[in-house]
Chains A and B, each alone.
Chain A
Amino acid sequence: MSGSGVADAVWALLWGVNVLVLGYFLLLNGVYLLTTLAAFRALRRYPRRLKTVEVEELMRTAGALPVSLVVPAYNEGASCVEATRALLTLRYPDYHILFVNDGSTDETLERMVAAYEMEPAPLAPTAGLATGAVRGIWRSRRNPNLWLIDKENGGKADAQNAGLNYCRTPLFGAIDADSLLEPDAVTRVVRAFLEDARTVAAGGVIRIVNGCAVRAGQVVDVRLPRNLLARFQVLEYLRAFLSGRMGWDALGAPLIISGAFGIFHRATVVEAGGFDRTTVGEDMELTVRLHRHCRARGVPYRIRFVPDPVAWTECPEDVRSLGRQRDRWQRGLMESMWRHRTMLLNPRYGAVGLLAYPYFFFLEMLGPVIEAVGFVAFAVTVLAGGASAAYVGAFLGVAVLLGMALSLAAVGLEELTFRRYTRTRSLVAIFGLAILENLGYRQLNAYWRIRGFITKLRGGTGWGDMRRRGFGTGAGNGSGRAVGDGAGVDA
């Protein structure tokens, strides 16, 4: 091939890559637009329905469906007592707390036993999911609905399965030890099960507690965090839950119930095999597997996102912890997507297989790779004189404006519905964040996702730790993920 032939081939390649990246960009934002519009439509109707069928009225008629809250904990000695106290104040008529001590090496067990006057209690398992050995079962004398399962260390999913094995109620909740549930959060999620008996899983909103005033395990004053990284995450979570999750729910294809706060139909989850102990994204993996399980058996089912119940969670405030979290989310996403790839573009799975799965597979899972290749190709094109600075600027400007518009739409949805940030200056600050996040934060996210992608390809499996400031009630591993809903997408 002659010199000009090689140059032509390189140009053609660059052309192709640029078109591919442009297509990715348009498709990705097209989906965001679609979910935002679907969310808008659903959220407009939701408050009216809430007023029509009041939760208390519903519970009074049906009697509350009994729920067991499974709370896995590893080395939570500093916070477990307070976190449990918060759970004990939930306004729900019939619930148990199954606190699972996952082989902690600190004083988690001793503190729980002392604080709640726990004593060994007989309890037969109701399921036989494989878990680390259970060393003992304890029950509180003061709060008979509080149980403690002490087991060998096996990881979060293993601890959740241990809780599931001892669950005796038709529903169970997966709750992070470091999440603060609002008093009526369980009631509001269970509503989804009462209104549609086909519901097998439902999750609520995760919001950022950093900066909020917390008393006795309850958020009493909602404020924006002082830390800029945490502030960005407030906006990210609004976008992820109100635009993303709500939109996917409205489209009939929710693909993730957050591990920080979700309620599940016990028997269905046990039949499906419980939580997968070999993935760092056990919440998404379970949700995807429930879709597969129910479809394979021809069982009518629904998986729902409910926008009003809230779990507050502490988000990372330092770059290192946040990076590790996003790295882990990316790996979890890849594991779930690869494991269930048979669902990809498979009409047997309806909107999940034809819409949500391709989105998460191509745009979220492979997105970091496409973006990285795009950055390189774009840079080469510019350096080789294939594009002017004005053109590059205009393209980046469109990307930034589009990201901003979608973020502002999410803020609008929050204002339309739940209005947790009541101070007008908070609202104005969130507007500012929608602009600021494009100047570094989104790029950092893209970097972490690429890093997670590479780590996964190299066989990385760890969870990573997280430095926490604490809010007086708990600390943990921050699994209230906002992945896959435009949360971590580079502009």
Chain B
Amino acid sequence: MGETWEEHVFPWLGVLSALLLAVALLFTLLTLVLRWRHHRADRVWRELEARWERQLLEVLAGAGDAAALLGRVRPGEALRFLAYLSRYARRVTGEETRILRALARPHLPRLEAVYRRGAAEERARAVQTLGLLGMPDYAPLLRRALDDPSPLVSIIAARALSGLHEPGDVSRVIERLHRYALWHPAFLAGLLTDAGKGGEAVLRDALADDGRPSGERAVVAQALRNLRDPRAADAAAAVLARAGDTDLTVACLRLLAEVGEGRHRPAVLPLLDDPRFQVRAAAVAALGVVGGERDVSDARAALDDPSSWVGLEAARALRALDGDTVLPEIAREPGRRGVLARQVLAE
């Protein structure tokens, strides 16, 4: 095999070696170029910060000249200046936010241009900055961005709009929840919570809407719970009578555990025997709020539920329903009931 094989392969090995050497050298060179570029970018940022920082702090303190600061922003530095202002905008509120927005205003059209022509991440970044520095002027653009082809841009726009607390925006975001299906429900509920202050009625309508997907209604229920909207309890109780979905049922029970009252007790009781442990746990937790002394025996029985989660919620419900009598007594027992009772008493 020797010579034939060698004769055949040897030239290719030579070519491959040369090629790989060139690639290795290229990678080395590119890495060094990257290092140099990063150093240069860091240096430029440091110089810009040195040029803007003192005057910006003076302007924010009410002692500086905004026009002079804007005069220090050279053509071609607009986007960097906006990025610089964004850093502060995240940390301040009130009058300082207003000052930053005024400083940003002359440069925002540049960002709008980026939004119109950039890649998805660039558009998202532009929308984020416009939300920070361009509100309320750019709210119409952000509302259009809700329908951007990229779900990332859409959700960044929704996040930015949530600060306006306009019921119309709550509606718009709810209508687009399906676009954000991958995001964690806690994030979506947080989004609606921020947006929903003043828009609780819209959220209640969405919760009551049987035509809407269960997952979305569960998110809405969680937002109402975050908002502690007492008027949502009736809607939640009504949903419980019809809902089959686990997430929605649990979300409604948790909402009742936050804002429920005695009249919601009948909606909760049947769910104490639900085959799903998550539902039983949420139901007994809600019972601790909407129940009374007559429910102590149910809560006590739930202590022995096969699921530790139900047992834990039952112990908490007992503490809520009965104060200091039953639970301290159970705490003296050996075994799981005793541990659960002692754990809850120590919380």
Q: Which residues of A contact B (CB under 8 A)?
A: 11, 14-15, 45, 48-49, 51-54, 56-58, 60-63, 65, 121-127, 168, 193-198, 385-388, 390-391, 394-395, 397-398, 401-402, 404-405, 408-409, 411-412, 415-416, 419, 424, 427, 431, 434
Contact = CB atoms under 8 A, between A and B. Distances in A.
A168 B346 CA distance: 15
B34 interface: yes
The 9 residue pairs across chains A and B that have the minimum distance between CB atoms:
A122-B342, A401-B20, A62-B187, A408-B27, A48-B121, A61-B190, A394-B13, A52-B124, A122-B343
A323 to B, nearest CB: 29
Q: Which of A385, A387, A412 has the most CB of B within 10 A?
A: A412
Contacts of B159: 57, 61
Contacts of B1: 11, 14-15, 386
A415 B186 CA distance: 35
Nearest to B315: A124
A424 B17 contact: no
Contacts of B16: 398
A62 B190 CA distance: 5
B182 A195 contact: yes
Q: Which of B5, B189, B336 has the most CB of A within 10 A?
A: B5
Contacts of A394: 10, 13-14, 17
Given A405-B20, A431-B28, A49 B10 contact: no
B318 interface: no
A388 B13 CA distance: 13
Nearest to B345: A122
B125 A125 contact: no
A195 B183 contact: yes
B121 A45 contact: yes
B31 A48 contact: no
Contacts of B208: none
B24 interface: yes
B339 A405 contact: no
A391 B2 CA distance: 10
Contacts of A386: 1-2
Contacts of B31: 408, 411-412, 415, 427, 431
B186 A194 contact: yes
A122 B339 contact: yes
Nearest to A424: B35
B345 to A, nearest CB: 8
A412 B30 contact: yes
Nearest to A165: B308
B182 to A, nearest CB: 5
A49 B20 contact: no
A407 to B, nearest CB: 9
Contacts of B308: 124-127
6 contacts: A54-B90, A124-B311, A394-B13, A411-B31, A431-B31, A434-B24
A62 B184 contact: yes
Interface in B41-74: none
Given A196-B183, A411-B31, 16 more contacts: A48-B121, A121-B343, A122-B339, A122-B346, A124-B339, A194-B184, A196-B184, A198-B182, A385-B2, A388-B2, A398-B13, A398-B20, A401-B24, A412-B31, A431-B28, A431-B31
B38 A415 contact: yes
Contacts of B194: 61
A216 B9 CA distance: 58
Given A195-B182, A197-B184, A394-B14, A412 B27 contact: yes
A20 to B, nearest CB: 14
B298 interface: no
Contacts of B21: 401
B34 A415 contact: yes
Nearest to A61: B190
B152 interface: yes
Nearest to A408: B27
A405 B27 CA distance: 7
